[in-house]
Amino acid sequence: IYGDFFGIGDVSDIEELLVGTRYEYADVLAKLQTIDTSHYFSRMTTEEVAKAIVA
């Protein structure tokens, strides 16, 4: 995962979290809802992050 999202967390944490997750919006969203995504993605909601990942 790469981009200009200016979070303070290391996005490799997100990558590891998603390993083994089906590449479907609902599945990715469910995983992301278990963490505080604002720590990694500034100014994006969890739903927006999930959409960006599976888009």
Total number of domains constituting the chain: 1
Residue 44 lies in a domain: yes
Summarize pLDDT for 32-49 with one digit per residue, the tens: 999 999 999 888 999 999
Q: Domain range spanning residue 21?
A: 12-54
Half-sphere exposure of 44 (CA within 13 A, CB side): 20
Q: Does 45 map to a domain? A: yes
In a domain, 7, yes or no: no
Answer yes or no: is 5 within a domain: no
Check residue 42 and give its pLDDT: 87
Answer yes or no: is 48 within a domain. Answer: yes
CA–CA gap between residue 5 and residue 18 (Å, rounded): 18
pTM: 0.87
Domain assignment of residue 27, yes or no: yes
